Structure 1
């Protein structure tokens, strides 16, 4: 996949596609909550793609970003979405789930499952191993860490008397974007090594889909009113 526009412009198109997909969703819709977070990340990508030297290869970053978004957008319109996305899609209107849970569950599904598959797809199109993208992959970590901090601050309003053993704090403390991206990178390397073994690749990708969905469903445990 060759880019016909500047990398920042290409990712701006991705942002527009995400915005169109979640525009008009009702307040409280879990998909809309995650979509708003995804737009923050994509807008930050656009900004950083205009900074000389921030990424080693901006065109490759833009290509990966587009492939990455395609998986989320495809799940939204699928008659049978991947297992990793079903918890968010099934529970998107549940009144007992807080917005921050929707945001983190969506990030989990997208990073833990969609990202490693997108890295492999990108490497196939470039004809290079994942190591060629490693520097830029990890460069994104700082960018995402800042977004995760803002998400938790914006979406998580906790009463001052909340006990440290509260189930919500326990749940949110069990997931971090750094750990998720480290796992995604390890999975991308594993899947790349299996690329010429279709049966093994499919089995590994299917297992990744299911286990990611299990984590997302745990993150979406209804907790409103639980003390």
Structure 2
């Protein structure tokens, strides 16, 4: 018997609390734990920028950050409870303990799932909830994207092996180098625009979401190609 899902987090403070609880509960090497530590850093930086009032629309930016994180937390909770998570998250959830997958791969697979699928849906949900036009959120979408890009650069620096190791690990360089957060951000905004245009057509909207989910999941499976211990 599965348990009911907890209510979505109400604010960034609740998001951070749940992420910290995951950090405490998961083994350090677990693939979800690797991504969760990265995303915790992102959310802490977003909170700092919200406190500094660096967004054009503070309320909408905060709402977007919470709805965005809520989709990740819901996927993890669904997996724990025995419910079926979105396809984009399944590669990471199924391969999280694989010893032949490097930490940087886990981190990028989580970023791929979250940016490629969850971000577009969070943008649409935020606009619907606040009765906003999509274009009014574009500037703050870019500002949150800048935080993600900075964190991704740090992930690559901290989790990639040193140059001497990379000479022996060309497949890792190939796998990690084939994915770009900048391109994923652009694709997420394009997907949000398409979903926004389809928001009144339930069948077309649902089909687009399903295909987006499956496509992002396929990329995630590639990023998690085992490369050996």
Partner of 2:164: 160
Q: 1:99 aligns with which of 87, 98, 103?
A: 103
Partner of 1:4: none
Q: CA deviation at 1:215?
A: 0.3
Partner of 1:74: 74
Q: CA deviation at 1:162?
A: 3.0
What TM-score does the superposition give when structure 2 sets the normalisation length?
A: 0.90
CA RMSD of aligned residues (A): 1.6
Does the 8 Å CA contact 1:129/1:192 hold for their aligned counterparts?
Answer: no
Larger CA deviation: 87-96 vs 57-66: 57-66
Higher helix share: 2
Distance 1:120 1:161, change over 3 A: closer
Structure 1 residue 218 and structure 2 residue 219: aligned?
Answer: no
Structure 1 residue 208 and structure 2 residue 215: aligned?
Answer: no
Does the 8 Å CA contact 2:22/2:33 hold for their aligned counterparts?
Answer: no
Larger CA deviation: 137-146 vs 115-124: 137-146
User: Structure 1: where are the runs of 5+ without partners?
Assistant: 1-8
Partner of 1:3: none
C-alpha distance in structure 2 between counterparts of 1:165 and 1:86, whole Å: 26
Does the 8 Å CA contact 1:148/1:177 hold for their aligned counterparts?
Answer: yes
Does the 8 Å CA contact 2:12/2:66 hold for their aligned counterparts?
Answer: yes
Larger CA deviation: 212-221 vs 57-66: 57-66
Partner of 2:200: 196
C-alpha distance in structure 2 between counterparts of 1:184 and 1:81, whole Å: 20
Aligned length: 216
Partner of 1:17: 18
Partner of 2:47: 46
Does the 8 Å CA contact 1:84/1:210 hold for their aligned counterparts?
Answer: yes
Does the 8 Å CA contact 2:38/2:155 hold for their aligned counterparts?
Answer: yes
Does the 8 Å CA contact 2:61/2:140 hold for their aligned counterparts?
Answer: yes
Q: CA deviation at 1:142?
A: 2.2
Q: CA deviation at 1:164?
A: 9.2
Q: CA deviation at 1:209?
A: 0.4
C-alpha distance in structure 1 between counterparts of 2:146 and 2:65, whole Å: 16
User: Structure 2: where are the runs of 5+ without partners?
Assistant: 1-9
Larger CA deviation: 22-31 vs 87-96: 22-31
Does the 8 Å CA contact 1:12/1:43 hold for their aligned counterparts?
Answer: no
Distance 1:40 1:161, change over 3 A: closer
